[in-house]
Structure 1
């Protein structure tokens, strides 16, 4: 994967999960239309080069090349700025254990950022763009990430509305917060894009940031279900509509290769987790700032077991 230079990103927030739905469309529908059509569609994505040097990306361990990890970011930034990664996920394409996994990394995680010391992991993107953000994941958690995808915050409602909304099971507590516009009863509800965005951002309910990342994954699952329910012949059109919202370091050929290599896995759904887990972390105020503090080697070991060895942790 040839990369050369860090580039800037668009605005976005808490929506890396949307990328996975788009990847599913790529994987499931990529082989339906002519090669030139797919190429033209992928050309609508914003391409950004990053280094292909393992040291630059913080890769220090030899990992099984059949287990590919891609960093997914939802970026919070004004136009023309780099911004922080308010949503951080790792998409794992695993042909060894026949799995696709989605791992959330808590944005307040207190980690070592090269050149900046200990800080929140979501600041790495603001400090050095996608290259430093990837390096931070690799160095702290022993990963082998070489590529990323990100999506604009403002695109989330529009993308969901393109798919006709998503069905989400809403609790009484979530309704009581009054944070989902136009929704007044619990149970399974078809949410519009704006409602789904509001749902994923609920703050004043039990579970805090841990529960918010769970809601993000809930929206993801609903999106994947909705994507798979679409007629297969509609996938190329969906890709064409959604592609302009994506920024990525993946080349067209790399994405095309995904359609053949991981197509069968995509139909099986996604295995999900998040790190650090409840028992491994605690919130602390350090110099007046809230951080999620944990023993990095312990979490690193658990992530390795989950991502590379397919163990339950």
Structure 2
């Protein structure tokens, strides 16, 4: 009888088994010759085990190992994201630093004695009607005219408390009738026309008793560009406004204003029943809305819009020689707080909006007692949480 090959033992699931593919020599009497033990090394070995079925030397299963390439790929992705994050942070820091380097510096530090510098920060925020930087076409489009020299359309005190009070923006109407050092009494904006930022700063300090810690000025030349760089500002127009001198014809209601219309909105006063007081309230409203729009993700997270806003702001900006970038940031943060109803938007208390001066001109006369109380509170950094008496104007958009 032929010798049958030895039957292999039954193996566990997924174990390797040996397939003998060798030819067996024939015996003369028939039947195959069983291979000797040593010859089994020549047999083909076929490994049919899965990775999870491998067994270690002790007979137990070997734990599966994550392929090394997956770990390397994860590390590359992590490093790439980290590099992008650092690049983004660097860009966010570089843009305002680069823009700040191009800001015009002016001398606003008064000579002689000044009020005592007390707790808190007080900044003079000025909007001048300088046409510098506007083309002839833009002057026509924005109805700015061709007046020479510089005057102030906006004068505000911005107070940032160190005692826990809300940020405060106080409008000083441009027609306020106050003493101008060395030039008698006149409208406050005359100080800027006569002696520029230095005399205006001295005038405000002497009239309020508050030490001015920094000076920020924006001109008409950069105003419209700043608004357009953020895609316009959202404002609620309190009434129909058709003012040819300001170049606007706006309807009542909430809307998005482009640079030209926004400029006309804050300049218009002849169609406002509150005159200069109403315009000052609209200016505070606008500045708050602008900062609110500038802080949205649509501005900050879009690189070209973020840089465009920074460059446009710098182009139309002038700051005091001792005003730091941190000072400018505090002013911007205060305006944003006011727009979010986390700050106070005020106007200096007045007693007569049509005061007749000795020269026969009409001016704004402050309420001496209430104005002094407001300025004393700011000077002493008293934590204001609500508007003091007389510092808001009924019928005006105060925030």
Normalising by the smaller structure, the TM-score range is 0.7 to 0.9
Equivalent residue, structure 2, for 1:149: 216
Equivalent residue, structure 2, for 1:61: 116
Change (3 A) 1:266 1:105: closer
Equivalent residue, structure 1, for 2:188: 121
Equivalent-residue separation in structure 2 for 1:177 and 1:193 (angstroms): 16
Q: Are residues 1:229 and 2:296 paired?
A: yes
Q: Residues 71-109 of structure 1, C-alpha deviation per residue, up to 9 Å, x if partnerless?
A: 111123465975222210112222322532211101111
Tell me how far 1:44 sits from its aligned partner. 0.8
Select between 216-225 and 287-296 the one with higher mean Cα deviation.
Answer: 287-296
Equivalent residue, structure 1, for 2:383: 310
* Conserved? CA contact 1:140–1:296, under 8 Å: no
Higher relative contact order (CA 8 A, sep 6+): 1
Equivalent-residue separation in structure 2 for 1:220 and 1:147 (angstroms): 18
Q: Residues 116-150 of structure 1, C-alpha deviation per residue, up to 9 Å, x if partnerless?
A: 01111111112212111111111111111032111
Q: Secondary structure at the match of 1:73?
A: strand
Map 1:30-41; keep pairs closer than 5 Å: 33=91, 38-41=96-99
- How many residues matched? 273
Equivalent-residue separation in structure 2 for 1:262 and 1:117 (angstroms): 31
Equivalent residue, structure 2, for 1:87: 154
Change (3 A) 1:180 1:289: closer
Equivalent-residue separation in structure 1 for 2:176 and 2:152 (angstroms): 12
Equivalent-residue separation in structure 1 for 2:90 and 2:165 (angstroms): 23
Equivalent-residue separation in structure 2 for 1:257 and 1:205 (angstroms): 33
For the aligned residues, what is the CA RMSD?
3.2
Q: Are residues 1:255 and 2:255 paired?
A: no
Select between 161-170 and 176-185 the one with higher mean Cα deviation.
Answer: 176-185
Equivalent-residue separation in structure 1 for 2:150 and 2:382 (angstroms): 33
Equivalent residue, structure 1, for 2:364: 292
Select between 117-126 and 149-158 the one with higher mean Cα deviation.
Answer: 149-158
Tell me how far 1:61 sits from its aligned partner. 3.2
Equivalent-residue separation in structure 2 for 1:179 and 1:78 (angstroms): 15
Q: Residues 273-298 of structure 1, C-alpha deviation per residue, up to 9 Å, x if partnerless?
A: 011x24x3342222221121235454
Q: Are residues 1:76 and 2:162 paired?
A: no
Equivalent residue, structure 2, for 1:19: none
* Conserved? CA contact 1:57–1:146, under 8 Å: no
In structure 2, stretches of 5+ residues that fail to align are 1-88, 134-147, 389-399
- Structure-2-length-normalised TM-score: 0.60
Q: Secondary structure at the match of 1:204?
A: coil
* Conserved? CA contact 2:179–2:185, under 8 Å: yes
Q: Residues 215-244 of structure 1, C-alpha deviation per residue, up to 9 Å, x if partnerless?
A: 111211211221121353454553233212
* Conserved? CA contact 2:246–2:267, under 8 Å: no
Tell me how far 1:47 sits from its aligned partner. 1.2
Equivalent-residue separation in structure 2 for 1:41 and 1:189 (angstroms): 30
Equivalent residue, structure 1, for 2:373: 301
Match 1:240 to one of 305, 308, 311? 311
- Structure-1-length-normalised TM-score: 0.75
Q: Secondary structure at the match of 2:102?
A: coil
Q: Are residues 1:191 and 2:257 paired?
A: yes
Task: Select the structure that is richer in strand.
Answer: 1
Equivalent-residue separation in structure 2 for 1:184 and 1:140 (angstroms): 36
* Conserved? CA contact 2:216–2:328, under 8 Å: no
Change (3 A) 1:78 1:288: farther
Bigger radius of gyration, 1 or 2? 2
Change (3 A) 1:36 1:175: closer
